[in-house]
């Protein structure tokens, strides 16, 4: 272990108050216990952990890293920025790091780190289909030449009427609008209302 990591490891052991409790539970668990104490809030079993010959706590033969953010970040940084991997992205960084190390929430920490990496952000391939450029509609040259239509639904019924929906027709040139009660919003029903309006004096 390089000197910087060794110093961070020493500080981590002092800062993480639960780490020694976890380690002690594993040592005791080799004799009697099966589950970690509830206060540690760990979703793994003691049987999955052990102590290596250097007296380091391990999970599935991977070194368990204490809860100390500078140490965990440094391990992610070294894995992510190494000459062998070179900004490999979230999944490869996690897979490489997880070969040797473990801590609860390791995948979330790697995801956060990679999301904040400027280099990864610049070289990430955009896999979604790109949208085309916006194309504004041409400006009409007379009123009621081009219109837009939409519905307003769930309105309270007017006096003497049972319709709770309204067909809204807007002239794109003058912005004049027509509000027509409508009960049948199917294509055929909407077409019938539109034709009635088109051949009336409302739209000339």
CB-based contact 36:25 (threshold 8 Å): yes
- The enclosing H or E element of 101 equals strand 101-102
If you search the block for the tokens 């040139």, which residue do you land on?
173
List pLDDT tens digits, range 47-62: 899 999 988 999 999 9
**What sign does the dihedral 13-14-18-20 (CA atoms) show?**
positive
User: What local confidence, expressed as pLDDT, does residue 195 receive?
Assistant: 87
List pLDDT tens digits, range 114-151: 888 777 666 555 555 566 667 788 888 888 888 999 99
Residue 187: pLDDT over 70: yes
Residue 66: pLDDT over 90: yes
The reply to whether the predicted model has a pTM over 0.95 is no
Average pLDDT score over residue span 143-170: 88
Phi, psi (deg, nearest 5) at residue 64 = -85, 120
User: What local confidence, expressed as pLDDT, does residue 31 receive?
Assistant: 59
The mean predicted confidence, pLDDT, of the chain is 84
Average pLDDT score over residue span 158-169: 86
Q: Could you write out the DSSP letters of every residue in 109-139?
A: HHHHHHHT-HHHHHH----SPPP----PPPP
List pLDDT tens digits, range 98-110: 999 999 999 999 9
User: Domain boundaries in the chain?
Assistant: 3-123, 147-198
Which is more confident, 149 or 1?
149
The proportion of the chain whose per-residue pLDDT surpasses 70, expressed as a percent, equals 85
Average pLDDT score over residue span 154-182: 89
Which is more confident, 153 or 29?
153
> Which CATH class, in words, describes the domain spanning 3-123?
mainly alpha
Beta-sheet pairing, 57-59 with 62-64: antiparallel
Which residues lie below 8 Å from residue 58, measured CB to CB, with a gap of 6+?
49, 50, 51, 52, 64, 102
Closest CA to 149 of 177, 129, 125, 108: 177
User: What local confidence, expressed as pLDDT, does residue 84 receive?
Assistant: 60
CB-based contact 140:172 (threshold 8 Å): yes
Average pLDDT score over residue span 150-156: 90
Which is more confident, 93 or 201?
93
């Amino acid at each position: 272990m390089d000197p910087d990591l060794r110093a961070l490891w020493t500080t981590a052991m002092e800062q993480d108050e639960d780490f020694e409790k976890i380690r002690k539970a594993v040592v005791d668990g080799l004799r009697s216990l099966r589950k970690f104490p509830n206060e540690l809030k760990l979703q793994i079993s003691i049987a999955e952990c052990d102590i290596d010959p250097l007296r380091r706590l391990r999970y599935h033969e991977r070194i368990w890293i204490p809860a100390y953010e500078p140490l965990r970040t440094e391990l992610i940084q070294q894995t992510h920025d190494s000459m062998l991997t070179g900004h490999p992205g979230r999944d490869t960084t996690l897979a490489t790091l997880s070969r040797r190390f473990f801590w609860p929430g390791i995948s979330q920490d790697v995801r956060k780190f990679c999301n904040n990496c400027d280099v990864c952000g610049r070289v990430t391939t955009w896999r979604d289909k790109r949208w085309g450029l916006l194309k504004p509609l041409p400006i009409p040259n007379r009123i009621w030449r081009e219109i837009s239509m939409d519905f307003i639904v769930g309105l309270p019924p007017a006096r003497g009427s049972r319709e709770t929906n309204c067909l809204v027709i807007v002239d794109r040139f003058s912005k004049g609008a027509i509000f027509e009660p409508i009960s049948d919003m199917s294509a055929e029903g909407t077409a019938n209302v539109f034709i009635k309006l088109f051949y009336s004096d409302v739209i000339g």
